[in-house]
Amino acid sequence: MILSGLNMERVILAYLFLGLGRRAFDMAMAYSVQRKQGGREINEFELVEQKLANMYTYLRTSRLLCDDALGGL
């Protein structure tokens, strides 16, 4: 019974940090659209696009892991 409660807390914490990560991604996207360099938005540069794509991929995989952990309870 106690271990079951701890497992639920772990999943809740995972979702909490997933939400924080999503907020960080949203802020990074907004900044990359707002910031201009050389007359172009910085999200048009290949390196920034790649970093944002990696962030999104990590968020999606983390979400799937959280959903899988929740389903296992």
> What residues are labeled active site?
9
Residue 41 Rama label (left phi>0; alpha psi -120 to 50; beta):
beta
Enter the DSSP assignment of 72.
Answer: T
Report which DSSP code applies to 24.
Answer: H
